[in-house]
Amino acid sequence: MLMIAAGLVILGWFAWQYWGTNIVAHQKQQQILDDWENTDAIGILRVPRFGADYEVPILPGGNLVDPKGLQALSKGVAWYEPGAKPGSIGNFVIAGHRVTHGEPFAKFPKLQRGDKVNVETRDAIYTYVLRNGGKAIIVPFTVEWPLEPVPDPNQVDAVPTKAVITLVTCSELFHTNNRSVVIGDLRSTRDKDTGQITTPTPAPAVASPAIE
């Protein structure tokens, strides 16, 4: 009986992790989206590749691994606060789960070079274009260059000159020590008050980092 009870507990835990947390997370996400301008969300993430109705709140996530980051990841995607803000020069980094807690990045491997990623804040809508697909860059979770101001292992100490976005998630659905990374460049900014669209000054193209 003891073994049966233990088995039921384990099954219950897995059921909660892979189904229960998704239900709770989706409820929390919808509550935030319904009134996101009056919450701590800094914006809304929209990725056309993930579906026309895809939108997820972006929440302050500290350094992503502290309690603030874990809380943000449980109800949306988390902004790496030491990095740049949306649309700013530097690296705007956001992370999300592929499974559990709403699994906002479940379709991450489907991302392709040239895909658009839209970030809406209270003042503007920023459109980024990806340099690489969702399967192109996989690194150990201990590697830190994707979080640097210039997300390139060959330019770790470089001073940023352009606005980029980096999306980070687990490279596999279950336990993994690796992370998948996509990087995009800011293509346009639309002011929500005036409707004016601006584009950044063209810069030399930067190739995706080559990872062994």
- With respect to residue 210, please indicate whether it lies within any of the assigned structural domains: no
- With respect to residue 32, please indicate whether it lies within any of the assigned structural domains: yes
Q: Quick check: 101 pLDDT over 70?
A: no
Range with lowest mean pLDDT among 12-21, 160-169, 195-204:
12-21
DSSP string, 28-64: HHHHHHHTGGGSS--EEEE-GGG-TT--EEEEE-TTS
End-to-end alpha-carbon separation of the chain, Å?
Answer: 50
Which pLDDT value is given to residue 57?
Answer: 94
In the chain, the number of structural domains is: 1
Which pLDDT value is given to residue 171?
Answer: 77
- With respect to residue 207, please indicate whether it lies within any of the assigned structural domains: no
Q: Quick check: 206 pLDDT over 80?
A: no
Which pLDDT value is given to residue 209?
Answer: 56
CA 95, CA 167: separation in Å to the nearest integer?
A: 6
- With respect to residue 115, please indicate whether it lies within any of the assigned structural domains: yes
Closest by Cα among 202, 175, 205, 203 to 18? 175
In sequence order, the β-bridge partners of residue 117 are 128
Which pLDDT value is given to residue 167?
Answer: 98
Give the confidence band of 53 by pLDDT, cuts at 50, 70, 90.
Answer: very high
- With respect to residue 209, please indicate whether it lies within any of the assigned structural domains: no
CATH number, domain at 168?
2.40.260.10
CA 48, CA 191: separation in Å to the nearest integer?
A: 20
Which pLDDT value is given to residue 16?
Answer: 38
The per-residue pLDDT of the chain, averaged, comes to 84
pLDDT (mean) for 131-152: 95
- With respect to residue 105, please indicate whether it lies within any of the assigned structural domains: yes
Percent of the chain with pLDDT over 90: 61
Give the confidence band of 81 by pLDDT, cuts at 50, 70, 90.
Answer: very high
Residue 102 makes CB contacts below 8 A (sequence gap 6+) with 21, 22, 25, 26, 28, 29, 56, 74, 75, 76
Q: Quick check: 64 pLDDT over 70?
A: yes
What's the domain range around 78?
2-198
Which pLDDT value is given to residue 203?
Answer: 52
Highest mean pLDDT among 33-47, 120-134, 158-172: 120-134
| Predicted structure pTM score | 0.82
Q: What is the largest CA-CA distance in the chain?
A: 69
Q: Quick check: 21 pLDDT over 50?
A: yes
Beta strands in the chain (DSSP E): 43-46, 56-60, 77-79, 90-95, 116-120, 124-130, 138-140, 163-170, 178-191, 197-198
